[in-house]
Chains A and B, each alone.
Chain A
Amino acid sequence: DVKVTQSSRYLVKRTGEKVFLECVQDMDHENMFWYRQDPGLGLRLIYFSYDVKMKEKGDIPEGYSVSREKKERFSLILESASTNQTSMYLCASSFNSRAGGKLFFGSGTQLSVL
Chain B
Amino acid sequence: KNEVEQSPQNLTAQEGEFITINCSYSVGISALHWLQQHPGGGIVSLFMLSSGKKKHGRLIATINIQEKHSSLHITASHPRDSAVYICAASLEGLTFGKGTHLIIQP
Residues of A participating in the B interface, judged by any CB pair closer than 8 Å:
33, 40-45, 48, 58, 90, 92, 98-108
The 3 lowest CB-CB distance pairs between A and B, nearest first, are: A99-B30, A100-B90, A107-B42
Q: Which of B13-21, B43-51, B57-65, B71-79 contacts A (4 or more CB under 8 A)?
A: B43-51
- Within the complex, the shortest CB–CB distance from B46 to chain A, in Å, comes to 10
Give bound CA distance, A85 to B48, whole Å.
Answer: 30
Instruction: Collect the chain A residues with CB atoms within 8 Å of residue B52's CB.
Output: none
Q: Which residues of A contact B42 (CB under 8 A)?
A: 90, 105-108
Q: Across the interface, do B99 and A42 meet the contact criterion of CB distance under 8 Å?
A: yes
Interface set of B (CB-CB < 8 Å, partner A): 30-31, 33, 35, 41-45, 48, 50, 86, 88, 90-94, 96-99
Of the candidates A43, A102, A107, the one having the most CB atoms from chain B within 10 angstroms of its own CB is A43
Chain B residues lying within 8 Å of A100, measured Cβ to Cβ, are 30-31, 33, 48, 90, 93-94
CA distance A33 to B95 in the complex (A): 13
A104: chain B residues at CB < 8 Å are: 45
Q: Is the interface of B mostly helix, strand, loop or mixed?
A: strand
Question: Which of A99, A101, A105 contacts B43, CB < 8 Å?
Answer: A105
Let me know if A102 and B93 touch, CB within 8 A.
no
Choose among A44, A58, A105 the residue with the greatest number of B CB atoms under 10 Å from its CB: A105
How many inter-chain contacts with C-beta < 8 Å in the A-B complex?
Answer: 54
Q: Which of A43, A58, A99, A106 contacts B90 (CB 8 A)?
A: A99
Q: A104-B45, A105-B42 are in contact. Are A98 and B92 (CB under 8 A)?
A: yes
Interface of A, helix, strand, loop or mixed by DSSP: loop
Chain B residues whose CB sits within 8 angstroms of the CB of A41 once the complex forms: 98
* Contact A45-B93, Cβ < 8 Å, known A40-B98, A103-B33, A103-B35: yes
A-B contact pairs, 25 of them (CB 8 A): A33-B94, A40-B98, A41-B98, A42-B98, A42-B99, A43-B86, A48-B93, A58-B93, A90-B42, A90-B43, A98-B92, A99-B50, A99-B91, A100-B30, A100-B31, A100-B33, A101-B48, A102-B33, A102-B45, A103-B48, A103-B94, A105-B42, A107-B41, A107-B42, A108-B43
